[in-house]
Amino acid sequence: MNEKQHRYHAYLLRLWQESPQTDWRGSLENPRTGERQHFATVNNLIAAIVQQTQGDPDELAKLSQD
């Protein structure tokens, strides 16, 4: 992977709430690969984006749920 590819991320972001009493959930889909990550909370999704741009990929995997 070249440096430009490593510094560019594109995602399809989806957010939903199953009922007014539940937390918002979300997913990020990589449009190039179709890989999708699901998140139980918006805070986890935001943390994953921060981790993607600043940190360890292993920590990113811990934030998402299948």
pTM above 0.85, yes or no: no
Helix, strand, coil distribution of the chain in percent, nearest 5: 35, 25, 40
Give me the residues paired with residue 28 across strands.
Answer: 13, 37
Q: What percent of the chain has pLDDT over 70?
A: 73
**pLDDT, tens digit, 9 for 90 and up, residues 27-50:** 999 999 999 999 999 999 999 998
Residue 26 has pLDDT above 90, yes or no: yes
